[in-house]
Structures are given as C-alpha cells and as structure tokens.
Amino acid sequence: MTLVLRMIAQRLALGLLTLFVVSLLIFGATELLPGDFAEAVLGQAATPETVAAIRRELGLDQPLVLRYVDWLWGAVQFDFGSSLAQRNRAVSDLIATRLGNTLFLALYAAAMAVPLALTLGILAALWRNSLFDRVANSSALSAISFPEFFVAYILIYILAQGGWFPSMARLPAGADLGEKLYRAFLPALTLTLVVTAHMMRMTRAAIINLLASPYIEMARLKGMRPSRVIVHHALPNAIAPIVNVIAINLAYLITGVVVVEVVFVYPGLGQLMVDSVSRRDIPVVQAVALIFAAAYVLLNLTADVISTLSNPRLMHRK
C-alpha cells in the first residue's frame, strides 16, 4: 500500500509541475495571438488613445515577465485575480457556477456512457462476430463518426421538436435534481453517443485479447459458463486498459464539449474559455486552462492507481 501512496504523492508533485508548465505555455500562447484585451474589447471603435488608456489602467503595458510573475504569485495563494472584462468580479466567482455545470454534465454523461459502454463491450466480446456484435459496433462507430453538432441536431429534431425534451439545456437557478436531469438530458445523450464507441471497443478488444490466454482455456475446460468466464476471469485482468480509456473520455467530457454547450445553450466552462480567448481575457483563460489540465492530471492518476491496484504483479513487486 505504501507503494501506491508514494506513487500518488510523486504523481501529484509532477502534476503541479505540469500545471506550472501549462500556465507558462498558455501565457506565452495568448501573448502570441495578434492583438490584446484593449484592442479586442474596442474592436472597430479602437483609437490609439483609448487602447493606450485601457492598457495603462489594467497594467497591460507592463513587460510580459512582470505580468506573469505577478499572476503566478497570486495563483500560488489561490488568488486568480479578477477578469479583465469584468473588473469587479473575481475569476473564481466567474468560474464557480460554470465549473459546477460542466462537472454535472460530465458526470451525467459518464453515468450513462460508462455502464452502457461496458455492458455493450462485454456482450460484444461474449457474442463476438454475432449479429449483435456487428450491430453494436457499427452503430457505436457511426455515432462517433458524425460530428457532435450533427448528432445534437438530429436529437433536437427528433426529441426536442417532438416535444419530449427541451432543446435548451439552460438550468434555472434553484432547479431540483429531477428538473436538472430532464433539462440536461439531450446534451448528456449527445455526449454519451459520442464517447461510448471508444470505451466499448476497448472493453471488447481487451477481453477478446485475454480470451486466448491459457487460464481462460482452463476455466472453459472446467465447464464454466462463457458469461462467468468473461465477468469473473477475463474482466478483472482487462481493467487496466479499460480504465485508461474511460479516464481519457471523462477528461474529454470535462474539457472538450464546447460545441455541445453552444448547440444546447448550456453555460459550461468551454464557452467561457472560448469567449475569454477571443477577448484575450488572460486571467480567465489561465484559470480555465489550469482546471482542464488538473482534470487530465487527476483522472490519469486515478486510472493509474486503479490499474496498479488491479494488478498483483505491480502491487507485489520484488
């Protein structure tokens, strides 16, 4: 067990380093974009004097390094500053509700997608090359092959215009869980359709791979039912690759759903990130990017811990 704890501590330290590098990259990248906040906010109406005045007021005329150190000093004390566009609002305040919405949608979609993908994958492995396997494979692959917005529009056309679910997933303040689940159903379903194929195919492949192992053959020779062979003997050994794919897909559900957010008018982090980049609102971009990076770091860490725990060879290394 100490092994796992040490691994977690090591990985978290490395994760912090990753976040630092990410913040450097993001800061540098936004600097490379043409124009800054002053020009972006004034747009067509920009005159040299007003641009200069805004830069002076927000300290954008300071050298790059100084601005970065300033930001970093605040960030290590968990003060991410205030948004350039809304000077009286702290970045953390701006992000809080949206982060909640994003996590809600991600968990909602994951709660549908992960069991569905695992079940389909196991069944497809069990009845491989059967009609079921083919249908499940081809429908999951076609769902992933369409662009997300197309899947979204099809669902809106069938389910929203048919009057079953709202086309806008806006969550009214103070809505109860049932209402929230109802309103966010279509975006969650869209995401489910988009991520299921990957996880299902990996489950199927990992299990089929193991089915050729001698110990499975042994189990079969003992006269065990195929379903029991797969669930009790093959699956535990297939956990590592499956968990890794699930982690990647969960991270995607948190960080990559801006298109779905736009189509369903869902106020999540993706839209905030896109708006802030186009406005060059660096404090917000930085904070959101760090959240995204942290999501990847933590989910990958979780996946690694689970695969280590599931593998005795790693747990009891000599």
Partner 1 sequence: MNKQLLDAGISRRSLIKGATALGAAGLILPAGYRKAAAQPRKGGTMRIAMGHGNTSDNLDPATWDNAYVQVMASTIHNYLTEIGTDGTLQPEIAESWDASSDAATWTFRIREGVTFHSGKDVTPEDVVASINYHRGEDSTSAAKPIVDPIRDIRVDGQNVVFELEDGNADFPFIMSDYHLPIMPSSDGRIDPSSADGCGGYVMQNFEPGVEARMTRNPDYWKSGRAHVDEVIMLPIIDAAARQNALITGEVDVIDRVNLNTVHLLERSGSIRIISVPGTQHYTFVMDSRVDPFTDNNIRLALKYGVNRQQLVDTVLSGYGVVGNDHPIGRSNRFFADELEQRELDPDRARHYLREAGMDSLQVDLSASDAAFGGAVDAAVLFAESAAEAGININVVREPSDGYWSNVWMVKLFTAVYWGGRPTEDWMFSTAYAAGAAWNDAFWEHERFNQLLSEARSELDETRRREMYVEMQRIVKDEGSTIIPMFANYVMAVSEAIATPEDIGANWTMDGFRAPERWWMA
Nearest distance, CB of residue 121 and partner 1, angstroms: 33
Structure tokens at 109: 């979609």
Q: In terms of CB distance, is 204 or 280 closer to partner 1?
A: 280
The 3 state secondary structure assigned to the chain is CHHHHHHHHHHHHHHHHHHHHHHHHHHHHHHHCCCCHHHHHHHHHCCHHHHHHHHHHHCCCCCHHHHHHHHHHHHHCCCCCECCCCCCCEHHHHHHHHHHHHHHHHHHHHHHHHHHHHHHHHHHHHCCCCHHHHHHHHHHHHHHHCCHHHHHHHHHHHHHCCCCCCCCCCCCCCCCHHHHHHHCHHHHHHHHHHHHHHHHHHHHHHHHHHHCCHHHHHHHHCCCCHHHHHHHHHHHHHHHHHHHHHHHHHHHHHHCCHHHHHHCCCCCHHHHHHHHHHHCCHHHHHHHHHHHHHHHHHHHHHHHHHHHHHCHHHHCCC
Nearest distance, CB of residue 59 and partner 1, angstroms: 13
Nearest distance, CB of residue 195 and partner 1, angstroms: 21
Q: In terms of CB distance, is 252 or 264 closer to partner 1?
A: 264
The β-bridge partners of 37 are none
Q: In terms of CB distance, is 47 or 77 closer to partner 1?
A: 47
Nearest distance, CB of residue 88 and partner 1, angstroms: 5
* Interface residue list for partner 1 (CB under 8 A): 34, 38, 41-47, 49-50, 53-54, 56-57, 83, 85-88, 94, 97, 153, 156, 160-161, 163, 166-168, 170, 173, 262-265, 267, 271-272, 275-276, 278-279, 281, 284
Q: In terms of CB distance, is 167 or 310 closer to partner 1?
A: 167
Nearest distance, CB of residue 267 and partner 1, angstroms: 4
Nearest distance, CB of residue 82 and partner 1, angstroms: 11
> By the 8 A CB rule, do 207 and 121 touch?
yes
Instruction: Determine the residue type at 257.
Output: V
Q: How many CB atoms lie within 10 A of CB 135?
A: 11
Q: In terms of CB distance, is 188 or 263 closer to partner 1?
A: 263
CA angle, 13 then 19 then 24, to 5°: 135
Q: How many CB atoms lie within 10 A of CB 199?
A: 24
Q: In terms of CB distance, is 18 or 82 closer to partner 1?
A: 82
Q: In terms of CB distance, is 102 or 244 closer to partner 1?
A: 102
Nearest distance, CB of residue 32 and partner 1, angstroms: 14
Q: In terms of CB distance, is 125 or 259 closer to partner 1?
A: 259
Q: In terms of CB distance, is 82 or 307 closer to partner 1?
A: 82
Nearest distance, CB of residue 222 and partner 1, angstroms: 57
Nearest distance, CB of residue 96 and partner 1, angstroms: 12
